[in-house]
Amino acid sequence: MKKILLVSASVALVFSLPVYAAGNVEAGKAKSSACMACHGPDGVSSVSSFPKLAGQNRDYLYHSLKAYKSGKRKNPIMAGQVQTLTDADMQDLALYYAKQKGLYLKY
């Protein structure tokens, strides 16, 4: 019984750890040209309906792209954009945008 609990706890720990997307900043920059149309240069969109990507958490961006590709997140524009992306492409884009300086509104 103790072995089962130990194995269960170990598995739960592994699956609760964040997944860190690797990625390559320069490759992400090269792949970002299609993103610029909506999300702006360097991921700072000037249109409120398109999210600013610059400075966002790398894992959040990576998992968002994966969710659009799998259909878990629904958006017809993004669904079309991510269909040809590989896992490496998504990691590269996520890292590139995470490394950009975000602009935050002051209230």
State the pLDDT at residue 102: 79
Q: What is the pLDDT of residues 34-87, one digit of tens each?
A: 999 999 989 999 899 999 999 999 999 999 999 999 999 999 999 999 999 999
- Tell me, yes or no, whether 41 lies in a domain: yes
| Residue 92 CB-density burial (10 A; 0-12 exposed, 13-18 middle, 19+ buried) | buried
Q: Give the span between the Cα atoms of 33 and 20, in whole angstroms.
A: 24
Range of the domain at 91: 21-99
> What CATH number does residue 31 fall under?
1.10.760.10
